[in-house]
Amino acid sequence: MSDRPTIVDEWTLRKFFAEEVLPRVEANELIIVVVSRGVPDPEANMPAGTESQMINYLDKKTSELLATAHRYLLLDGNLGASGMPDPKYVRVGDNEYKVPARPLGKPFASKPPKRKKRPPN
């Protein structure tokens, strides 16, 4: 395993999360542990009673940490915002990835970055 996680943008991390973690959640191979909870920032515009949570995804057999994510848990048990956890760290094999720390009060981009068009050959 690497000494330090590789910094990637949030869209790359979401791709790793969707490909590597979510299928294992659906297969019931992971344990989800709430590691912190609190009241969402008012700017998140979440309904009253929503809980802001940081969660870890652990391998059931080895207890190894495979991912860390943030989610808004609504009173009805559904997830708020996009309806998906927002990954902050993902381990794929021996490689670790994380999003960069963001300055306080500055949200991550809500849309994927625009790709540059290739010039015609």
pLDDT given at position 1? 59
pLDDT given at position 28? 97
CB neighbour list of residue 10: distance below 8 Å, 6 or more residues apart: 86, 87, 99, 108, 109
Rg (CA), the chain: 16
Task: Assign 24 to helix, strand or coil.
Answer: helix
pLDDT tens across the length of the chain (121 residues): 557 899 999 999 999 999 999 999 999 999 999 999 999 988 888 989 999 999 999 999 999 999 999 999 999 998 888 889 999 999 999 999 999 886 545 554 554 555 555 555 5
pTM tops 0.75:
yes
| Consecutive H or E run containing 91 | strand 86-92
pLDDT given at position 44? 86
| Consecutive H or E run containing 27 | none
Task: Assign 116 to helix, strand or coil.
Answer: coil
Q: Assign 3-class secondary structure to 35-70.
A: EEEECCCHHHCCCCCCEEEEEEEEECCCCCEEEEEE
DSSP at 103: -
pLDDT given at position 15? 96
pLDDT given at position 107? 52
93-110 b/e with 16+ CB inside 10 Å = b? eeebbbbeeeeeeeeeee
